[in-house]
């Protein structure tokens, strides 16, 4: 009788392998579900469905990875409840990419899904237009970690705003929350709010007004173009590195290559590292390709981004220009992906999944048999080494397109300035040069890679430092029309500055450290009639701020632009003849193994903004360590010399590109728990290593992270020097899962990623 009953339980039908939303890494896998007869035609790979999950069979979203015919036991498998999507928004290429992200970044399936789906689809909404003008838009504050003590509704809003912005009305509609939920997240410093000016879902058709044939390449450009054209027309995936000095005309080569790709019926992608570069870049490509070019970046509203997503998916836009998130744009038949300024750290995601755009682009080029073109005046160490050993094709442009020489760079010793009584932030020679530029009607650019007014507030009486109550970092003072506020640049916490010590009530307060806001004020004092533009994260929060600021400066409505790194790369202002670089030692001695590389790149890039027109450029580099070889080589624009010096150091100390680095971070609200769990994880990992054949690996730590706490959670780290290989990833994955079931990690959060 029992056998007969069991026989009846086994039935023929279709089942689906589904990744479920909100699964933790420890139980994140593909689950089998039966497909009801009435849904058989609607369930297919790439569609999202609603499924019962867990002991309570609560309904959650899931993504279908594959469907198969066969037999299954009806008592052991649950049924799909409903279908969410009207069609499969995730194609087979993206399904494979989701699997790759899970395997290579230790994320869950659905963390990867959130990267790929446009924000409007993350909440289960279809691609119908959103309507109505609103006054406020919100986006995530710049922070490495989101607090875990959020309500379910708050978490839904935060997840929906990853890599995008939205009006308050849009986010409330999509997430099914009230405005109060959004308001509370703003108060917590998790979201930042800014003014909205126009309807965001309207896309004005644009007509190309320039012809590619207008572009006349120099002899060196033409040689590079022909070599890259050969790679583009190859029947296999290829990778090239275009190393060209600033102002060498790399963009003209990009445009010609994109034109070739379109002629052969293929699509193209141009990626830039900063939102600030998007307006100029999209203006150039729309000038040549009109409405065939679409733009994707996190500064777009949900409505605008959805409209662009639809145009790309439908094939009416075959060129995508954008920042990091644009690498997932649903282009078909890709011919070329260009990553401009490829060495910039902004191409790395700081939230799970922690991917690098270059790796995603490689995966997509491999599938489409396309060409990946990496380009920069200061390539990453990894890319330049790959070119030197023949993995990439190396192309070089060593002269400026205009024929002008590179700017003259002078290193200023600020120790001598102070010895001669100058205690200010500007050397005497730089002030003289700024005055001269103002008199001649030429423009100047000042770089200081730190925003705010004062960066360190300390009580002279008791030594108390104004620290963020949630993070282990000093707070930065920001002036506003409503008074001075203290801000944490990690979690976004804000409070009013009272000019009084909270510990001893003393009013003897020392304010030190300099940000762009203070530099702007000082320049206005030195040159009262000068028109000064400040470009940093504080002045570019509102929609269109980048475009308005850079367009105004390009139209010569300002004399001096002060900014952070967003003004250092890719911008072209022919009337800029003077560049000043302040407090570069902060970057040089950051304590990171890539500190020298970033400093060299920053100096080289910002110096390259000068003298791009018909006037000679000059730059002044202020430092307290003028003898440092990195500064000397950057002043000489000698990338190859810098690479050879840095290569020797990295090889001796075993840092990338001579190994891979994997970081494991353990967080807890109790520091003792985080410290203990970090040693426990090291033990778990070392035991897991014993189960496989020996692989070369060095374990450093565990130690307390450089920023010991963020958002009230203490952080400890292990760093592993290794090779990013399947055996290593398998051991790490098993260790992360083991930690989840270990009582020593009961309240800890454990994450791992490759640097």
The model's pLDDT over 551-607, given as tens digits with 9 standing for 90+, comes to 999 999 999 999 999 998 888 899 999 999 999 998 998 878 999 999 999 999 999
What's the pLDDT at 126?
A: 57
Least confident window among 350-364, 475-489, 513-527, 645-659: 475-489
What's the pLDDT at 144?
A: 52
Distance of alpha carbon 395 from alpha carbon 584, whole angstroms:
30
Tokens of 505: 């009530």
Side-chain-side CA neighbours of 504 within 13 Å: the count stands at 12
Contact 336, 317 (CB under 8 A): no
Decide: residue 743, CB within 10 A, 0-12 exposed, 13-18 middle, 19+ buried.
exposed
Tokens of 527: 């040159």
Q: What are phi and psi of 283, to 5 degrees?
A: -65, -40
Which of 146-155, 170-179, 377-386 reaches the highest mean pLDDT? 377-386
State yes or no: pLDDT of 501 exceeds 50: yes
Distance of alpha carbon 720 from alpha carbon 693, whole angstroms:
17
Tokens of 503: 């510990």
Distance of alpha carbon 374 from alpha carbon 395, whole angstroms:
10
What's the pLDDT at 327?
A: 97
Contact 206, 286 (CB under 8 A): yes
Tokens of 736: 């992360």
Among the listed residues 164, 182, 183, 187, the one whose alpha carbon sits nearest the alpha carbon of residue 172: 182
Distance of alpha carbon 409 from alpha carbon 652, whole angstroms:
31
H or E segment and range at residue 258: helix 250-263
Contact 297, 358 (CB under 8 A): no
The model's pLDDT over 147-175, given as tens digits with 9 standing for 90+, comes to 777 888 888 888 888 777 888 877 886 77
* Largest Cα span, the chain: 102
State yes or no: pLDDT of 135 exceeds 80: no
Tokens of 160: 């929906």
What's the pLDDT at 191?
A: 86
DSSP state for residue 427 in the 8-state scheme: -
Residue 458: partners with Cβ closer than 8 Å, 6 or more residues away: 464, 465, 466, 509, 510, 512
Give the count of beta carbons closer than 10 Å to the beta carbon of residue 589: 14
Q: Average per-residue pLDDT in the chain?
A: 90
């Amino acid at each position: 009788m029992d056998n007969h009953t069991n026989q009846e339980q086994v039935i023929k039908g279709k089942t689906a392998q589904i990744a479920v939303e909100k699964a933790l890494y420890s139980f994140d896998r593909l689950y089998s579900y039966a497909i009801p007869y009435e849904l058989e035609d609607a369930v297919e790979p790439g569609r999202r469905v609603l499924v019962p999950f867990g002991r309570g069979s609560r309904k959650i979203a899931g993504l279908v990875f594959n469907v198969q015919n066969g037999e299954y036991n009806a008592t052991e498998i649950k049924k799909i409840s409903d279908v969410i999507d009207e069609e499969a928004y995730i194609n087979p290429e993206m399904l494979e990419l989701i699997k790759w992200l899970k395997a290579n970044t230790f994320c869950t399936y659905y963390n990867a899904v959130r990267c790929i789906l446009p924000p409007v689809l993350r909440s289960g909404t279809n691609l119908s237009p959103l309507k109505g003008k609103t006054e406020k838009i919100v986006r995530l504050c710049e922070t490495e970690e989101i607090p875990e003590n959020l309500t379910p509704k708050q978490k839904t809003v935060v997840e929906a705003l990853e890599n995008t912005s939205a009006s308050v009305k849009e986010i409330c509609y999509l997430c099914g929350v009230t405005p109060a939920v959004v308001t509370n997240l703003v108060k917590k410093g998790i979201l930042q709010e800014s003014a909205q000016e126009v309807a965001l879902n309207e896309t004005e058709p644009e007509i190309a007004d320039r012809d590619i044939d207008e572009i006349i390449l120099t002899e060196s450009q033409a040689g590079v173009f022909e070599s890259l054209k050969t790679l583009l027309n190859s029947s296999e995936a290829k990778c090239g590195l275009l190393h060209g000095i600033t102002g060498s005309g790399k963009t003209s080569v990009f445009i010609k290559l994109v034109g070739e790709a379109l002629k052969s019926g293929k699509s193209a992608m141009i990626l830039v590292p900063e939102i600030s570069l998007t307006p100029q870049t999209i203006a150039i490509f729309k000038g040549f390709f009109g409405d065939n070019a679409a733009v994707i970046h996190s500064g777009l509203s949900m409505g605008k981004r959805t409209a662009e997503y639809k145009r790309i998916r439908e094939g009416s836009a075959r060129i995508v220009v954008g920042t990091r998130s644009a690498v997932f744009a649903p282009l078909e038949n890709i011919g070329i992906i260009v990553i401009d300024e490829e060495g910039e750290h902004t191409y790395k995601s700081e939230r799970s999944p922690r991917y690098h755009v270059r790796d995603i682009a490689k995966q997509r080029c491999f599938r489409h048999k396309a060409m990946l073109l990496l380009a920069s005046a200061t390539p990453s160490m990894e890319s330049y080494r790959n070119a030197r050993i023949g993995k990439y094709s190396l192309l070089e442009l060593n002269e400026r397109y205009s024929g002008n020489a590179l700017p003259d760079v002078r290193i200023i010793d600020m120790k001598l300035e102070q010895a001669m009584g100058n205690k200010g932030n500007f050397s005497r020679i730089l002030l003289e040069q700024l005055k001269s530029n103002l008199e001649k009607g030429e423009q100047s650019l000042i770089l200081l890679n730190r925003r705010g007014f004062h960066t360190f507030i300390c009580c002279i009486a008791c030594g108390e430092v104004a620290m963020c109550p949630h993070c282990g970092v000093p707070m930065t003072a920001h002036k506003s029309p409503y008074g001075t506020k203290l801000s944490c640049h990690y979690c976004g916490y804000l409070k009013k500055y009272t000019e009084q010590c909270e510990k001893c009530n003393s009013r003897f307060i020392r304010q030190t450290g300099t940000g762009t806001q203070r530099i702007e004020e000082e320049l206005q004092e030195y040159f009262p009639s000068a028109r000064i533009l400040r470009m940093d994260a504080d002045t570019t929060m509102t929609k269109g701020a980048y475009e308005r600021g850079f367009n105004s400066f390009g139209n010569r409505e300002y004399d001096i632009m002060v900014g952070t790194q967003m003004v250092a790369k890719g911008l072209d202002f022919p009337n800029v003849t003077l560049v000043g670089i302040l407090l570069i030692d902060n970057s040089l001695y950051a304590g990171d193994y890539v500190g020298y590389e970033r400093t060299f790149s920053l100096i080289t890039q910002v110096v390259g903004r000068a003298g791009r027109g018909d006037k000679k450029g000059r730059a002044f580099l202020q430092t307290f360590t003028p003898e440092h070889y990195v500064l000397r080589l950057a002043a000489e624009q000698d990338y190859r010399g810098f690479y050879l010096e840095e290569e020797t150091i990295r090889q001796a100390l075993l840092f990338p590109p001579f190994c891979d680095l994997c970081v494991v971070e353990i967080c807890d609200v109790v520091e003792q728990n985080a410290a203990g769990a970090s040693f426990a994880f090291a033990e778990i990992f070392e035991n897991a290593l014993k189960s496989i054949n020996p692989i070369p690996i060095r374990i450093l730590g565990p130690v307390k992270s450089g920023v010991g706490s963020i958002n009230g959670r203490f952080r400890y780290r292990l760093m592993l020097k290794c090779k990013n290989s399947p055996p290593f990833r398998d051991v790490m994955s098993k260790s992360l899962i083991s930690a989840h079931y270990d009582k020593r990690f009961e309240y800890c959060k454990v994450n791992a990623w490759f640097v």
